[in-house]
């Protein structure tokens, strides 16, 4: 059976992609142990491929390698989440500006459509759909910007933030509060106003930071 498993670089890449996807959709949670043999059996790869992939993920701060205990999904504190969001803000402002300057008509129409879907989701109280659309809007702006370096860095940062993004989006009243901020980004980008697009992206992520701060428990940022 081992002979049919994916080996080498292909196995390493497959494991990394599957763990990133599982983090993104919430199948893996912070602190969860990653057992090499279990992953190898489930993903159809060799154990060495799993080990190499875990090293890659550890270098991206997604996995923590604990001496004598193996690997686990790294826990991100609220304090670190705030710092990550500050970094995201700088990169997403750049992307929003570039999209406002260079997006074609099809891209602007696609962003406007997401804006309408966001309105509908809030009006219907479908906050799970709103969370997915929120994330999708950010992904589209990053993709349409053509800024490949920013995209790679944001993919890494955003994967670490999944837990917080979902919790904030599902908090009572948060969608109604953040909707105008997201629509301001859409309006600025689709109207081709780079200054307004950058300012709107900054304001939206400043709102995320503020929500992270007020959500921190009384015993400190690390305990959330």
Percent of the chain with pLDDT over 70: 89
Contact between residue 130 and residue 138 where contact means Cβ atoms under 8 Å apart:
no
pLDDT, greater one: 95 or 76: 95
**pLDDT at 60 (0 to 100):** 84
Instruction: Average the pLDDT over each of 89-93, 145-149, 173-177, 212-216 and give the range with the smallest value.
Output: 212-216
**pLDDT at 171 (0 to 100):** 66
**Residue 1, pLDDT above cutoff 60:** no
- The tokens 């670490």 sit on which residue? 160
**pLDDT at 218 (0 to 100):** 47
Contact between residue 178 and residue 134 where contact means Cβ atoms under 8 Å apart:
yes
pLDDT, greater one: 26 or 188: 188
For residue 64, give the 3-state DSSP assignment: strand
Distances (CA, A) of 12 to 65, 192, 218: 17, 42, 42
pLDDT digits (tens, 9 = 90+) for 77-117: 888 889 999 999 999 999 999 999 999 999 999 999 999 99
Contact between residue 125 and residue 133 where contact means Cβ atoms under 8 Å apart:
no
The fold of the 78-218 domain, in CATH, is 1.20.120
What's the pTM value of the predicted model, to 2 decimals? Answer: 0.74
Contact between residue 138 and residue 92 where contact means Cβ atoms under 8 Å apart:
yes
- For 208, list phi and psi in degrees, rounded to 5: -60, -45
- Residue 165 and residue 162: Cα distance in Å, rounded? 5
**pLDDT at 23 (0 to 100):** 82
Give CATH 1.20.120.530 domain extents, the chain: 78-218
Q: Taking the CA of residue 21 as centre, how many other CA atoms within 13 Å lie in the half-sphere pointing to its CB? A: 7
**pLDDT at 24 (0 to 100):** 74
Q: Which of 28-42, 71-85, 98-112, 122-136 has the highest mean pLDDT?
A: 98-112
The fold of the 2-73 domain, in CATH, is Arc Repressor Mutant, subunit A (1.10.10)
Query: Residue 66, Cβ neighbours under 10 Å: how many?
Result: 10
Stretch 24-47: mean pLDDT: 89
**pLDDT at 167 (0 to 100):** 64
**pLDDT at 30 (0 to 100):** 82
Give CATH 1.10.10.10 domain extents, the chain: 2-73
**Residue 25, pLDDT above cutoff 80:** no
**Residue 224, pLDDT above cutoff 70:** no
pLDDT digits (tens, 9 = 90+) for 153-195: 998 888 777 667 656 666 677 788 899 999 999 999 999 999 9
Q: Which of 64-73, 106-115, 209-218 has the highest mean pLDDT?
A: 106-115
**pLDDT at 100 (0 to 100):** 98
For residue 34, give the 3-state DSSP assignment: strand
Query: What's the mean pLDDT when you consider all of the chain?
Result: 88
């Amino acid at each position: 059976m081992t002979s049919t498993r994916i080996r080498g670089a292909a196995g390493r890449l497959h494991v990394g992609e599957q763990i990133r996807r599982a983090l993104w959709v919430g199948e893996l949670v912070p602190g969860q142990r990653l057992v090499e043999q279990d992953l190898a059996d489930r993903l159809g790869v060799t154990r060495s491929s799993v080990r190499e992939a875990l090293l890659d993920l550890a270098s991206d701060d997604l996995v923590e390698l604990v001496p004598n205990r193996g690997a686990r999904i790294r826990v991100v504190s609220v304090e670190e989440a705030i710092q990550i969001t500050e970094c995201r803000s700088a990169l997403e402002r750049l992307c929003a500006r570039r999209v406002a300057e260079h997006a074609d008509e099809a891209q602007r129409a696609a962003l406007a459509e997401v804006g309408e879907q966001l309105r509908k989701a809030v009006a219907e109280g479908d906050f799970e759909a709103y969370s997915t659309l929120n994330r999708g809007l950010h992904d589209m702006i990053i993709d349409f910007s053509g800024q490949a370096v920013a995209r790679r860095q944001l993919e890494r940062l955003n994967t670490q933030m999944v837990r917080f993004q979902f919790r904030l989006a599902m908090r009572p009243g948060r969608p109604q509060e953040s909707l105008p901020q997201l629509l301001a980004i859409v309006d600025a980008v689709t109207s081709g106003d780079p200054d307004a697009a950058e300012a709107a992206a900054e304001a939206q992520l400043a709102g995320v930071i503020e929500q992270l701060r007020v959500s921190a428990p009384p015993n400190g940022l690390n305990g959330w």
